Amino acid sequence: MSLVPMRAILQASLDAYKAGSQFAVGAYNVNNMEQIQGIMMAANQTQSPVIIQASRGALKYADMDYLKHLMQAAVELNPGIPVAMHLDHGNNLDSVKKSISLGFTSVMIDGSLMEDGKTASTYDYNVKVTKEVVEYAHNFGVTVEGELGTLGGIEDGVGSGKIHLTDPDQVVDFVNKTGVDALAIAIGTSHGAYKFKEEPKLAFDIIEKIRKMIPDKFLVSHGSSSVPAELIDMINKYGGNMKKTMGVPVASLQKAIKLGMNKINVDTDGRLAVTAAIRKVFTEAPDKFDPRDYLKPAREALAAIIAQRMNDFGTAGHIKDVKMISLAEMAKFYKK
């Protein structure tokens, strides 16, 4: 079995950063079988460790148990690929407990927002809920990601819609009080497809400061899809009506990786690739009615964009660098 705590995968990235050969690991959102298959096709092609993550919206859409078994099938059918199952934007301890009971090896608790996933919280609230999750999850060897600061945009019903950059002066205190493994920091990225009207300027100085302050913790960038113009154009060519928008340039993400970013969340790019492929089939072959006729090219399109990101982030070829460790072994590590 290749299912591992997310900590094991991100440790390989952090070790590489300290050795001067930086790479980050992409975390890719899933909602159905074809998405999971496409991601694993890309991981096999590039020989990359991978984080498959499900939001609360995905778990509701697909039903928790369906998605659980689809993700476990990906692990069983790809024994050579290190895989972490991650809960994206958990909003309270109950959502975390449910995910851990389903076999997730990593959870995010987004204490930067209140339980509604929209209202910005206070610092003290964030510390309190994150600490509760860490104390619970570490008993099972499960990795915990927290968030400090808020992103712009809204995706899957999550987001305050306002960017509040992470305050580096709060980072050490937050990490010490919560014991969190990974920290999602706000550096100017944004959720959703409609991120920016012009190329964003990320706060690279914040990454540098925080990396020096917490050298042994993992740094995470949310809302990091690049929203390729060619995919927007393809969607519109085949009947779509998406407005012009810009994502986070790959070059900016690569600079963030060099500064010590370890995990990069990508969702919108995959959604765009799938939608473009399906629209193309519907337009060029309107007689088609078998779902396999359009879901297969959608799966292939997703695999292509994910493989591209794995190469962009430098993840390709790094499966050998991940130490295979069980949740039980990781739980013992936390107890020490």
Closest by alpha carbon to 129, among 93, 103, 98? 93
Altogether, the residues listed in the chain come to a count of 336
Q: Which two tokens stand for residue 88?
A: 């994206």
Strand partners, 84: 51
Tell me the torsion sign for CA atoms 5, 29, 55, 116: positive
DSSP state of 228: -
In this structure, are strands 106-109 and 83-90 parallel, antiparallel, or unpaired? parallel
Q: What are phi and psi of 160, to 5 degrees?
A: -85, -15
Is 63 a catalytic site residue?
no
How many C-alpha atoms does 236 have within 13 Å on its Cβ side?
A: 11
Active-site residue, from 63, 65, 88, 233:
88
DSSP string, 109-137: E-TTB-TTSSSB--HHHHHHHHHHHHHHH
One-letter amino acid of 237: K
* Residue appearing with tokens 């810009």: 246
Q: Which residues are catalytic?
A: 88
